Amino acid sequence: GVLWPLLIVSTGELFGTERIASNYMLLDGSPSAIAGVLLAKLLTSAVYNAHTETGSKACHGDQCFRLTHMSMVGIETLACVAAVVLAMRSKVVYETSVFLGVDESASDEASDDDPQMSPNSNESSSDE
């Protein structure tokens, strides 16, 4: 359930928000439509029909859906690998845009707290 809201945010962060609707549909709509037709309709019915006995319209046993299930496991594994690769490749985006701002604000706060890091620290020590 958390994937769909994160997909919108990730799409906006990675590709910008100017064309977020088009990019979102490219990442969400197209794969869902293609997978719905290819996997749910064609693959499942082909495997089911291949394991029905001649003259029968029903298939009995786990062989009716085993190949479909194993195909889905393989596709989900590939999707997991693709997600990890995307996370590793987009790490640069987050380091340069998000974490860079955090590091700068942290160094500004540290220089305010530490008198040695302050630009005026030399002036105060020369007065003494």
Which position has the token pair 């302050």? 118
User: What is residue 115's predicted lDDT score, i.e. its pLDDT?
Assistant: 53
Q: 89-122, pLDDT tens digit by residue?
A: 878 777 776 656 555 555 555 555 555 544 554 5
Token pair, residue 49, equals 């029909």
Q: Is the pTM of this model over 0.75?
A: no
Token pair, residue 47, equals 């495997």
User: What is residue 87's predicted lDDT score, i.e. its pLDDT?
Assistant: 82
Q: 15-62, pLDDT tens digit by residue?
A: 888 888 888 888 778 878 888 888 888 888 888 888 888 888 888 888
Report how far residue 8's alpha carbon sits from residue 128's, in angstroms, rounded to the nearest whole number.
Answer: 59
Report how far residue 62's alpha carbon sits from residue 66's, in angstroms, rounded to the nearest whole number.
Answer: 6
Report how far residue 23's alpha carbon sits from residue 29's, in angstroms, rounded to the nearest whole number.
Answer: 10
Report residue 114 CA to chain centroid gap. 40
